[in-house]
Structure 1
Amino acid sequence: METDRPMRSSVNKMYRTLTLGALTACVVAMLAACSGNDELEMAADSGEQQIYLEAQRYLENDSFDLAIRTLQMLESRYPFGRYAEQAQLELVFAHYGGREFEAAIEAANRFIRLHPQHPNVDYAYYMKGLAAYDIDGGFLASLVPTDDTKRDVGHMKEALAEFAQLLARFPDSPYAPDARLRMVHLRNMLARHEIHVANYYFRRGAYMAALNRGRYVVENLEQTPSVADGLAIMAQAYLLLGLDDLAIDTIEVLKANYPNHPNLDDNGEYTSVYTLQGLQRSWINKVSLGLFDPPEPPQFNYRPKPN
């Protein structure tokens, strides 16, 4: 059918990444604002199909602002027309392409609420996950590499929940394989975030809080690479809290599952600034009575190599 074409084009465009070329596009868009307004006025005088085709042309050219305005015009003029439902779905992608992530989520929720039995409603759920993941990135995040695991991860948890809902409702959706891969990535990032937080707590001397973060990774994110650091964090925290028996048990689990962890020496013994023998200080620190060369708090940043 004719209305199937825009969906395929939107899916193909979904994986494009905005680059520095977007800056040039912004300048061109500003220079062409008057021309765009004239085109919208012409479209308003056109029929339903012509307005819809104009919106598709804007999407093909990444003119997302014009596409949004045209799709909104189409829906307002023909709310029960042939292209009304498809326009609402295309509006989700247009907002996403224009980096209006909150608007994309709102448009997706509206489509799901109005058309819960639509054959392409799984697309709306999928786009909600994508938009939720990108919502805190901002435009500069696409240009400057950053460690997302050191930022607020609320958007990651939301995206994980959205993808989980997609898989629960539509396990055979064509978007399900990609959603599963993204969920694995999100779980890995959430686990890494917990490790960063545990390192912070060690620096602050909040050993019980660090222990809880490591335990959370081990118990709830058990299939992520960060489990190794989670165990090491638990062992270190137990040592600092004077819970030597629990530390020994945890070290044995670490040795059995991750013998190459940097906190284990060649003999499989646990090594750290803090060990069962206490604080490991250099001779300079000892001679200066702790004034110089103080031991650094433990830091964990191990990434196991894939098998």
Structure 2
Amino acid sequence: MYINRKSVHRGNSKLSQTNPRFFKKMNRVFSCLDSLVILIAGSLVLAGCVGDRRLQIMQDAGPAEIYQAGTEAVAENNFTTALTYFEVLEARFPFSNYARQAQLDMIYAYFRGNRMEQAIDAADEFEAENPTHPRVDYCLYMKGLVYFDREPDFLERFFRVNMSERPPSDTLEAFNTFQELLQRFPESPYVPDSRERMIFLRNRLAAYENYVADYYIERGAYIAAINRAKFAVEHYPGAPAIEESLVTLSRAYAMIGMPDLASDAQRVLEVNFGIETPPQPASQVEILELEIEE
């Protein structure tokens, strides 16, 4: 039985505020003990059956045997069973090397079992408890994958929601996590894949900035549109969506009577994308001058 790490701490509230990690750890220990009881009970029930050997693990099994059972369950995509073994291992042999490796494997098992919040919590907890461990890069990589692979919910898929119009919170978290991995562990074997994913995420983030900029353009909020388009150009260079950002900058600068800056944006657009922007509409300043002359 799994107890969410985010559950409310029991006991003295003042003590929990001063040392929340203690209660979080104790909650996990109790969860692991529950898993141990369930596993032993299940083993007794199934002892007379011809079934999976891993479900008949004995209470006195050593850490190597328990860990092997967990990894075999992962290999068979039986992630619930794998998590049970890893939790039992962590509860019975908390200071063994197998327990530490099991903590890393639990991140993957949570991820593959579609328990995304638990995967993030497990990665954060491992890094907090083992800040100098050589596998911290793996924790960051798995966190990035969790944010990257989060899919639209059922209603979003059913109604075919345009995701470029949604605030990309998970996209931004994934991008920042992969970026942290590249900065902290440039020699990590996870860097190449992280970099490729960042290229995709970068365009998604730039596309959202363009959507917001267009929203402001339609409402005549040209300064706000310029700010969003500039943010995309400055923070997501190289993204294909930057082409639209430059078009927005050229249009918005022209509309507020700043032709030099509009020309600069158009020049960058032509150099990088080979595109000439259409003639810009008269700016609000020019329209006002025409009305005064009339």
Q: Please, what TM-score do these two structures have when normalized by structure 2?
A: 0.69
Partner of 1:43: 57
1:184-222: CA deviations, max 9, x gaps? 222121111111221222233322222211121222322
Residue 224 of structure 2, aligned match among 196, 206, 209: 209
Tell whether the 8 Å contact from 1:71 to 1:88 is kept in structure 2 after alignment: yes
Report whether the alignment pairs 1:253 with 2:268.
yes
Partner of 2:175: 160
Distance 1:147 1:64, change over 3 A: farther
Residue 108 of structure 1, aligned match among 101, 123, 128: 123
Deviation at 1:257, TM superposition (A): 3.3
Q: Describe the SS at the equivalent of 1:99.
A: coil
Deviation at 1:228, TM superposition (A): 1.8
Distance 1:44 1:166, change over 3 A: farther
Deviation at 1:250, TM superposition (A): 2.9
Partner of 1:187: 202
Aligned AA for 1:95? Answer: Y
Report whether the alignment pairs 1:126 with 2:132.
no
Residue 215 of structure 2, aligned match among 188, 194, 200: 200
Deviation at 1:35, TM superposition (A): 7.6
- Which segments of 5 or more consecutive residues in structure 2 lack a partner in the other structure? 1-40, 47-51, 285-294
1:28-73: CA deviations, max 9, x gaps? xxxxxx9899578633525133322221222112122222222111
Partner of 2:109: 94
- Which segments of 5 or more consecutive residues in structure 1 lack a partner in the other structure? 1-33, 265-269, 279-307
Tell whether the 8 Å contact from 1:194 to 1:217 is kept in structure 2 after alignment: yes
Partner of 1:70: 85
Distance 1:248 1:116, change over 3 A: closer
Counterparts of 1:129 and 1:191, CA distance in 2: 19
Residue 275 of structure 1, aligned match among 272, 278, 281: 281
Residue 67 of structure 2, aligned match among 43, 52, 60: 52
Distance 1:103 1:122, change over 3 A: same
Q: Describe the SS at the equivalent of 2:57.
A: helix
Partner of 1:10: none
Distance 1:139 1:100, change over 3 A: farther
Deviation at 1:166, TM superposition (A): 1.5
Q: How many residues align?
A: 236
Deviation at 1:242, TM superposition (A): 3.4
Aligned AA for 1:159? Answer: A
Deviation at 1:141, TM superposition (A): 7.9
Counterparts of 1:250 and 1:56, CA distance in 2: 55
Deviation at 1:234, TM superposition (A): 0.9
Counterparts of 1:137 and 1:70, CA distance in 2: 31
Residue 99 of structure 2, aligned match among 84, 99, 103: 84
Counterparts of 2:262 and 2:134, CA distance in 1: 54
Aligned AA for 2:281? Answer: T
How high is the sequence identity, in percent, across the aligned residues? Answer: 36
More relative contact order in 1 or in 2 (CA 8 Å, sep 6+)? 1
Tell whether the 8 Å contact from 1:44 to 1:51 is kept in structure 2 after alignment: no
Counterparts of 2:188 and 2:69, CA distance in 1: 29
Tell whether the 8 Å contact from 2:203 to 2:241 is kept in structure 1 after alignment: yes
Aligned AA for 1:42? Answer: Q
Q: Describe the SS at the equivalent of 2:83.
A: helix
> Which piece of structure 1 moves more, 213-222 or 97-106?
213-222
1:5-36: CA deviations, max 9, x gaps? xxxxxxxxxxxxxxxxxxxxxxxxxxxxx989
Tell whether the 8 Å contact from 2:119 to 2:146 is kept in structure 1 after alignment: yes
Aligned AA for 1:45? Answer: Q
Aligned AA for 1:94? Answer: A
